[in-house]
Amino acid sequence: MKSLEKLFAMAPEFTIPPMVTNFFTSTLNTNEKRAMVIAAVALIFAWFAAILYRNVVTSLARSYVPFMARLLAPILRSYSYDEEEFFKADGADLSTQKKRKAGFRKLASSFNRKYVKSREAMGKGLSDLRFTNTNRVPFPFQKIVQDTLKVGSLVVSTNGPEVQDVDGNWAIDLSGSYGVNVAGNEMYKKWMGNGCHKTADLGPVLGPLHPVVIENVKMLQEITGLDEVSFHMSGTEAVMCAIRLARFNRKRRKIVQFNGAYHGWWDGVQPGPGNERSVPDVITLKDMNPLSLATIRARGAELAAVIVNPFQAFHPNSPPPSDLVLMSNKARKTDAGISALNHPYAVWLRKLREACDENDVPLIFDEVYSGFRLSRGGGAAYFGVKPDMIVYGKTLGGGMPVGVVCGKEKLMRRFDPLHPLRVAYVIGTFSAHPSVMGSMNEFLQWVTTPESQKIYEDGQRSFDEFAASTNEALALAGMPLKITNLATVFTFEFTCPSRYHWMFQYYLRDQGVNLAWVGTGRCIVSLDFTKEHYKKLQDRIMAAAKRMAADGFWSAEIVSSNARQAARMAKELAFHSAIMPFKSFYDKVMEQKEIDHHASHSHLINQFLHFISSSIFIWCYVEVMVSKTGDWSWPVELGLISLLVRQAGHYVFEPPCHDAEQAMLGFDTRAKVKICLLYGGVFSAFLGRWMARQSGYETAVRLTDVWLLATLLIVFGRVAVLWRRYSFAVSMHWWLKFMTDPFTDLPAYWRSCYQVFSPRLLKDAFAKSFPKWFPNHVPIPIEDLGNGWGVDHAKAH
């Protein structure tokens, strides 16, 4: 205690409360001390309880979809149905399969007639197209669909909401250009032209700004009620900017986002499907869940921001539905057009706003999709909630590429006035590009007029009427689908289970309806749809649905429930993911053996020596297995001899062709030379020991141990090298091949045992290895019979 007092004395500037010094200097009485200890324990307990509560609440509110997606992605194996399985994936009977086949063929030949030029011109080389073309349908169906139903994607002109492809086919466009097309193609054509014209005198000057930029900023400030604006080239880039600024200004790293919400392709906001990287600074919570609010409250101090995509109102907790996942009628959970302010999502957003306010956490609305779509004021106005930052994109560019962030001044700052080196370097060459700003200016001027307000209202009314009458017609015709919409975005919701819902996109296309690559999951109409367009669209939807039903793809009696269908699919997946990998592993090993044969084991004498050596090896394996004494010196020594016999075959008669190995295997066995030198060293040691014995000396080291060690080192060294250079799988293929070579050599090379006694074949074999000794020899033409690795030399001539 004395030393403590001294310590206290050394720090006179701190006045230590007498309670504390008294506690240590024992001037407190026992009760006081007890009270203090209890208080400390209670404090520690409360602290732990708070941590426990925070973690429990987070784990209950967290969505495990991202984690599961990353876990399952490398495990689940892809597989493709063949022609037969393709039409009976749900166990359909023969007559339904026939109907389906005929319908499918009809569709294919119609596509072949329609998309001649488009298909030819497209060719290969555009990776986006390869991705979207592949991911239109569930994977077991992909191969046949890709080979047969070739959709043309080259378009040349638009006329209102109709689009024309290079083959001259016109289709009603439900793709909405990924959400860009709100006002109608003709408007964007005008704005793009006017925008370029407005800024044409400036040309490509960047840095100094064209005055339209200032006008745009003013209009955006008015629309959003936020202080500052920043311009970018895409929605993804704008989301990156918003999150980075929130992190910088809040001095926190963690972001909350909600399950299923799309925020662009930056992997920093894709913690689940579509991204292999784990994103530890994003917490993905369940949408519309009170526990998520509790989590935000409990973790408020750690959060940089909460980001919301207001379009989740349409299908909370799930990504935008696409035909890729259309396996059952459960894939669509949509909230049929409940209007705005009393929409359950509006209530949720208001609660979210409160939770964020209480903890001073910025709330970001990602309105790249919903901005100027749900209403003129986007999701914020539609649901009546005011965020701290809004991210825009798509339509705001007036047809040109754009991303915009609007936010409160304190969140938009990119420098720290107190720390000159703390800077958030967020700036891009093409931000505020004159042409983009010009067309944005056109768009903003239009969207802020009273006429546009009326266009929004009329457009919404017409769409609602269309949706109601189409649903009535579909129900009347007994079709298992209906339309559900949020503003002018809609989805086809299927009312019966089927493995073939995704086929509907192809029937629609064939009727003249253009869809985005996600197919019937997300369809968009623009505000320029007239009554005639809607009538045409309804007729085409009805015709497509009736054709699909008639072709037997919705035979409800076949798959009676989602559960039965899910069980069927789970069985298929389990088979392909758990059983098939073993088969493909086996195939790979056998393929390596075959390649190895062709690269360096096709010589008669070499094969014969391999047969001998393999037989000895097998004997050695058996000896080691049955040995009761544990003394393996004899089999190990024999193993060495057999290896020498084996390698002699290569050294004398048939050197391995490394180039062939490299070409066929992807790696070669050049290192074999070094390996053999090492073996040679061990062999010399044997000789040395023998000579030493002859001279009356006994060696202390058991050379068999040295040899065994060398072998293990070399084999596992090679496994390690292959693993590091290629992959674990490649190293295991090699290892298994190596271990089982003696067993597969026997059936492969047994013929050589009698063929070596044929003088003709023997002479031919020698002539092959030593052509100088046989100058006039005409080689026997050996054809590989192609039945594994055992070339039948006798049959070959």
**Applying CB under 6 A, which residues contact ligand PMP?**
178, 234-236, 239, 262-264, 309, 366, 368-369, 393
Contact 731, 585 (CB under 8 A): no
Q: Identify which of residues 375 and 647 has a Cβ nearer to ligand PMP in the complex.
A: 375
Q: How far is CA 612 from CA 252, 597, 650, 743, in A?
A: 70, 16, 14, 12
Q: CA neighbours within 13 Å on the CB side: how many for 370?
A: 27
The smaller minimum CB distance to ligand PMP, of residues 363 and 748, is found at: 363
The smaller minimum CB distance to ligand PMP, of residues 523 and 605, is found at: 523
| Nearest-approach distance from CB 243 to ligand PMP, in angstroms | 11
First to last CA, the chain: 103
Nearer to ligand PMP, 427 or 687 (CB): 427
Contact 192, 440 (CB under 8 A): no
Three-class secondary structure assignment of 732-749: HHHHHHHHHHHHHHHHHH
Closest distance of CB 437 from ligand PMP, Å: 17
**Rounded least distance, CB 459 to ligand PMP, Å:** 20
C-alpha to C-alpha distance for 396 and 437, rounded to whole angstroms: 10
Which CB atom, from 310 or from 512, has the smaller least distance to ligand PMP? 310
Token pair 């999701």 is found at 379
The β-bridge partners of 393 are 403
Of 199 and 234, the one with the shorter C-beta distance to ligand PMP is: 234
Cα gap 377→229, rounded to integer Å: 16
How far from 184 is each of 162, 168, 189, CA to CA, in Å?
Answer: 10, 21, 9
**Residue 236 or 614: which CB sits closer to ligand PMP?**
236
d(CA 724, CA 109): 49
Find tokens 């035909």 and name the residue. 323
Measured distance CA(147)–CA(643) in Å, rounded: 50
- Between CA 291 and CA 306 the distance in angstroms is 15
Q: Minimum Å distance from CB 432 to ligand PMP? A: 16
What's the closest the beta carbon of residue 258 comes to ligand PMP, in angstroms? 12
Which residues make Cβ contacts (< 8 Å) with residue 638, sequence separation at least 6? 616, 619, 620, 623
CB of 370 to ligand PMP, least distance (A): 7
Rounded to whole angstroms, the Cα distance separating 464 from 489 reads 11
Q: Cβ closer to ligand PMP: 237 or 510? A: 237
- With a CB cutoff of 8 Å and minimum separation 6, the contacts of 331 are 321, 325, 501
Q: What is the dihedral of CA 528, 531, 535, 537, to 10 degrees?
A: 10
Q: Which two tokens stand for residue 55?
A: 């973690």
Nearer to ligand PMP, 393 or 480 (CB): 393
- Give the distance from CA 715 to its chain's centroid: 36
Least CB distance from residue 379 to ligand PMP, whole Å?
10
How near is the Cβ of 179 to ligand PMP at its closest, in Å? 6
What is the number of the residue whose Cβ is closest to ligand PMP? 235
Whole-angstrom distance, CA of residue 453 vs CA of residue 455: 5
Helix (H) or strand (E) holding 659: helix 658-665
| 263/768 with CB nearer ligand PMP | 263
- Give whichever of 393 and 656 is closer to ligand PMP, judged by the CB atom: 393
In this complex, which beta carbon is closest to ligand PMP, that of residue 79 or of residue 178? 178
Distance CA 270, CA 319 (A): 11
- Minimum CB separation of residue 417 from ligand PMP in Å reads 31
The nearer residue to ligand PMP, 369 or 507, going by C-beta atoms, is 369
For the bound state, the minimum distance from the C-beta of residue 210 to ligand PMP, rounded and expressed in Å, comes to: 22
Sheet holding 513-514, edge to edge: 155-159, 162-165, 170-173, 513-514
Least distance in Å: CB of 49 to ligand PMP? 38
Greatest pairwise CA separation for the chain in angstroms: 115
Least separation in angstroms between residue 256's CB and ligand PMP is 16
CB distance 361 to 300 below 8 Å: yes
Distance CA 749, CA 757 (A): 14
Residues 761 and 754 sit within 8 Å (Cβ to Cβ):
no
**Judged by CB, which is closer to ligand PMP: 172, or 239?**
239
Q: What is the separation of C-alpha 258 from the centre of its chain, rounded to a whole number of angstroms? A: 18
Q: Is 18 exposed, middle or buried (0-12, 13-18, 19+ CB in 10 A)?
A: exposed
Min separation Cβ 267 and ligand PMP, Å: 13
CB of 199 to ligand PMP, least distance (A): 22
What is the residue-wise DSSP string for 773-792? G-TT-----PPP--SSS---
Least Cβ distance, residue 378 to ligand PMP (angstroms)? 11
The residue among 23 and 178 lying less far from ligand PMP, judged by its C-beta, is 178
Q: Is the separation of the CB atoms in 435 and 198 below 8 Å?
A: no
Cβ-based nearer residue to ligand PMP, 92 or 364 = 364
The minimum distance between CB 397 and ligand PMP, in angstroms, equals: 9
Cα(261)–Cα(316) distance, rounded to whole angstroms?
8
Nearer to ligand PMP, 107 or 396 (CB): 396
Tokens (6 digits) for 515: 């869809």
Shortest separation between residue 447's beta carbon and ligand PMP, angstroms:
19
